[in-house]
């Protein structure tokens, strides 16, 4: 495997960063997870824009221009002979001292990995997930805006650990007010009386690229969609529920906290959205 690392393509064994890199020491950096389908990088421009916005928000200067970022991402796929893959772009603050001060890190570091990812077995796409609500709360927007996709994922990791302790693969995370924010790694949608509903970003949800795609799909299919406050009750009593993410794509949920959602099977609107999403991934993006 070839890894893009600070302007060069190196073997996996040689892809190393310093122990003094602030991405390692403090989680100081930003990243994107992107999918490659049939030689087409899905919504690459949207991902790169979000990376730029995340970097700007934490006062981190990206080492490459948008055009250079696009080329490096595509070339990483070409170097590895891939047509289907999961891509991870990471930009760290770079090497500094043991203090917090980011201005003592003179040069950011960047690497790109192109590999495979399998988050959920196929059976869960066919039959749906059973998920839980975990005790760990999502970090509030006043503390850290959820639109910043930073390297500090400890909050989500704690939620993922708790999900596993409850025997689930994914979990709902609430915000401090008790409203649904998102899952540990995915955005959440419900369907109620023909309307698609999802938490707003102001409640702690990441503005996911796949989430945005589903919003576009709803418009295309002329399905009403609303962003609003959501509680666990809304999910328990929904007709359908599904999760979205670059890794997860679109996956149905049939149970939350031991309560069956709708019929207990993936619903018709979820299946419509999934079918439309799978058509889009081959045509919306950048050819490598």
Catalytic residues: 149
> Model confidence over 62-115: pLDDT tens digits?
999 999 999 999 999 999 999 999 999 999 999 999 999 999 999 999 999 999
The strand pair at 129-133 and 171-174 is best described as parallel
Fold held by 2-115: D-amino Acid Aminotransferase; Chain A, domain 1 (3.30.470)
> Quick check: 52 pLDDT over 90?
yes
Going from N- to C-terminal start, the domains of the chain cover: 2-115, 122-280
pLDDT at residue number 283 = 87
CA dihedral for 224, 228, 232, 233, sign (positive or negative) = negative
Domains 2-115 and 122-280 share a fold: no
pLDDT at residue number 61 = 97
pLDDT at residue number 64 = 97
pLDDT bin (cut points 50, 70, 90) of residue 172 is: very high
What pTM value is reported for the model? 0.94
pLDDT above 90 as % of the chain: 91
pLDDT at residue number 70 = 98
Long-range Cβ pairs for the range 54-60 (8 Å, 24+): 54/30, 54/147, 54/148, 54/149, 54/150, 55/30, 55/91, 57/145, 57/147, 57/148, 58/28, 58/30, 58/148, 58/150, 59/102, 60/28, 60/29, 60/30, 60/91, 60/93, 60/102, 60/108
pLDDT at residue number 58 = 97
Q: DSSP secondary structure string, 119-146?
A: -S-HHHHHH-EEEEE-SSPPPPTTTS-T
pLDDT bin (cut points 50, 70, 90) of residue 184 is: very high
> Quick check: 134 pLDDT over 90?
yes
Pick the CATH number of 122-280 from 3.40.50.300, 3.30.70.260, 3.20.10.10, 3.30.300.30: 3.20.10.10
Burial 26-55 (b: 16+ CB within 10 A, else e): bebbbbbbbbbbebbbbbbebbbebbbebb
pLDDT above 70 as % of the chain: 100
> Model confidence over 202-249: pLDDT tens digits?
888 889 999 999 999 999 999 999 999 999 999 999 999 999 999 999
pLDDT at residue number 202 = 83
> Quick check: 41 pLDDT over 90?
yes
Q: How many CA atoms lie within 13 A of 123 on its CB side?
A: 2
pLDDT at residue number 116 = 85
pLDDT bin (cut points 50, 70, 90) of residue 141 is: confident
Average pLDDT in the chain: 96
């Amino acid at each position: 495997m070839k890894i893009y690392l600070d302007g060069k393509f190196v073997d996996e064994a040689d892809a190393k960063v310093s122990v003094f890199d602030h991405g390692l020491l403090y989680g100081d950096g930003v990243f994107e997870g992107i999918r490659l389908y049939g030689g087409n990088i899905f919504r690459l421009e949207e991902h790169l824009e979000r990376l730029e916005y995340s970097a700007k928000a934490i006062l981190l200067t990206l080492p490459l221009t948008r055009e250079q970022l696009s080329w490096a991402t595509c070339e990483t796929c070409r170097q590895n002979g891939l047509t289907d893959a999961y891509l991870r772009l990471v930009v760290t603050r770079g090497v500094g001292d043991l203090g917090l001060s980011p201005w003592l890190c003179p040069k950011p570091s960047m690497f790109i990995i192109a590999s495979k990812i399998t988050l959920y077995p196929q059976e869960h796409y066919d039959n749906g997930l059973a998920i839980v609500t975990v005790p760990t709360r999502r970090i509030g927007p006043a503390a850290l805006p959820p639109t910043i996709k930073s390297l500090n994922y400890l909050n989500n990791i704690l939620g993922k650990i708790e999900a596993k302790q409850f025997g689930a693969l994914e979990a709902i995370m609430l915000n401090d007010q008790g409203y649904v924010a998102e899952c540990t790694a995915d955005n959440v949608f419900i369907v109620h009386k023909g309307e698609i509903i999802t938490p707003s970003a102001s409640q702690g949800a990441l503005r996911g690229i796949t989430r945005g795609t589903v919003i576009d799909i709803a418009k295309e299919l002329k399905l009403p969609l609303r962003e609003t406050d959501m509680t666990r009750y809304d999910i328990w009593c929904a007709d359908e529920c599904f999760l979205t993410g670059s890794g997860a794509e679109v996956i149905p949920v049939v149970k939350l906290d031991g309560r069956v959602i709708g019929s207990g099977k993936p619903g018709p609107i979820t299946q419509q959205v999934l079918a439309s999403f799978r058509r889009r991934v081959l045509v919306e993006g950048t050819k490598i």
